[in-house]
Structure 1
Amino acid sequence: MPAIRRFALLGLPAALLAGCATAPSGDAILSAYVVLGEQGSATARVLTAAAACPTLNVDGRALPMTVRAPAATIPQRPTASSPADSKPSAFPVLTCELPLPAGIRSAQLAGRTLPVPVAQPSRIVVIGDTGCRMKKADNAYQACNDPQAAPFGTVAASAAAWRPDLVVHVGDYHYRENACPEGNAGCAGSPWGYGWDTWREDFFRPAAPLLAAAPWVAVRGNHESCVRGGQGWWRFLDPRPLLPGRDCNAAANDTVGDYSDPYAVPLSRDTQLLVVDTAATTWKGLKPGDTGYDRYRDAYAKVATLAARTPYNLLTNHHPILGFGADLDKNGQRYLQLGDKGLQDSFGSVNALLLPPNVQALLAGHAHLWEQVSFSSPHPTQFVTGFSGTAEDTVPLPTDTSDVHPAPGAVINAFSSWVGGFGFMTMERESGGVWRIEVHDRTGAVKNGCRLIERQSVCDTARID
Structure 2
Amino acid sequence: MNIQQRTFQWGGLSLVATASLLALHGCGGSDGDAASKASNIQAAWVMVGTKNEAIARVITNYVPEASAGPQEACPLITVDGGVSRMSLRSAPSNPGLRPTASDPTDSKPSAFPVTVCEQALPATALQVNVAGQNLPLPKAQPQRIVVFGDSGCRLKKVDNAWQACGDSAAWPFEKVANAAAALKPDLVLHVGDYHYRENACPSDIAGCKGSPWGYGWDTWQADLFKPAAKLLAAAPWVMVRGNHEECARGGQGWFRFLDPQPFSAARSCDLASNDATANYSDPYAVKLGSGTQVIVFDSAKNPKTALKPEDTQFAIYQKQFRQVADIAAKSGLVNNFFTNHHPILAFAPIAGAKPAQANPAMTSVMSSLNAQAYYPPGVNLALHGHVHDFQAISFKTGQTATIVSGTAGDNLDVALPDPLAPGTEPAPGAVIDKISHHASFGFLLMERRAQPSTGWSFKAYTADGKLLATCLQQGYSLGCDKAGFLTP
Match among 88, 96, 102 for residue 123 of structure 2 = 102
Residue 347 of structure 1: aligned partner: 366
Moved over 6 A (4+): none
Residue 258 of structure 2: aligned partner: 237
SS in 2 for 1:451: strand
Match among 38, 42, 51 for residue 26 of structure 1 = 38
Match among 380, 388, 394 for residue 360 of structure 1 = 380
Residue 418 of structure 1: aligned partner: 438
**Is 1:319–2:342 an aligned residue pair?**
yes
| Aligned 8 A contact 1:402 1:412 in 2 | no
How many Å separate the matches in 1 of 2:278 and 2:417? 35
SS in 1 for 2:479: strand
| Aligned 8 A contact 2:141 2:288 in 1 | yes
CA root-mean-square deviation: 1.6
Residue 267 of structure 1: aligned partner: 288
Q: How does 1:147-226 map to 2 (within 5 A)?
A: 147-226=168-247
SS in 1 for 2:457: strand
Could you say if the C-alpha distance between residues 14 and 140 of structure 1 is closer, same or farther in structure 2, counting changes exceeding 3 Å?
A: farther
In the superposition, the TM-score normalised over structure 1's length comes to 0.93
How many Å separate the matches in 2 of 1:307 and 1:296? 16
Q: How does 1:2-41 map to 2 (within 5 A)?
A: 22=33, 23-41=35-53
| Aligned 8 A contact 1:397 1:417 in 2 | no
The superposition leaves residues 168-195 of structure 1 with CA deviations (integer Å, 9 ceiling, x where unpaired) of 0000000000000121001011000000
SS in 1 for 2:469: strand
Residue 54 of structure 2: aligned partner: 42
Q: Equivalent pairs: percent with the same residue? A: 47
Residue 464 of structure 1: aligned partner: 486
Residue 10 of structure 1: aligned partner: none
Letter in 1 for 2:383: L
Larger radius of gyration: 2
Letter in 1 for 2:486: I
- CA drift at 1:42: 0.9
Q: How does 1:361-376 map to 2 (within 5 A)?
A: 361-376=381-396
| Aligned 8 A contact 1:325 1:397 in 2 | no
Q: How does 1:38-117 map to 2 (within 5 A)?
A: 38-51=50-63, 52-117=73-138
Q: Which runs of 5+ in 2 are unaligned?
A: 4-22, 25-32, 64-72
How many Å separate the matches in 2 of 1:43 and 1:401? 47
- CA drift at 1:291: 2.6
Letter in 1 for 2:375: L
- CA drift at 1:461: 1.6
How many Å separate the matches in 2 of 1:121 and 1:132? 30
SS in 2 for 1:307: helix
In the superposition, the TM-score normalised over structure 2's length comes to 0.89
Letter in 1 for 2:53: S
Match among 432, 443, 448 for residue 429 of structure 1 = 448
- CA drift at 1:304: 0.7
- CA drift at 1:401: 5.3
Letter in 2 for 1:340: N
The superposition leaves residues 327-363 of structure 1 with CA deviations (integer Å, 9 ceiling, x where unpaired) of 13xxxx3131213111111222121121112111000
Match among 367, 390, 413 for residue 393 of structure 1 = 413
Residue 148 of structure 2: aligned partner: 127
Could you say if the C-alpha distance between residues 199 and 413 of structure 1 is closer, same or farther in structure 2, counting changes exceeding 3 Å?
A: same
Letter in 1 for 2:431: V
**How many pairs does the alignment contain?**
444
- CA drift at 1:14: 12
| Aligned 8 A contact 1:151 1:442 in 2 | yes
- CA drift at 1:241: 0.9
- CA drift at 1:416: 0.4
Letter in 2 for 1:335: K
How many Å separate the matches in 2 of 1:246 and 1:290? 22
How many Å separate the matches in 2 of 1:177 and 1:263? 29
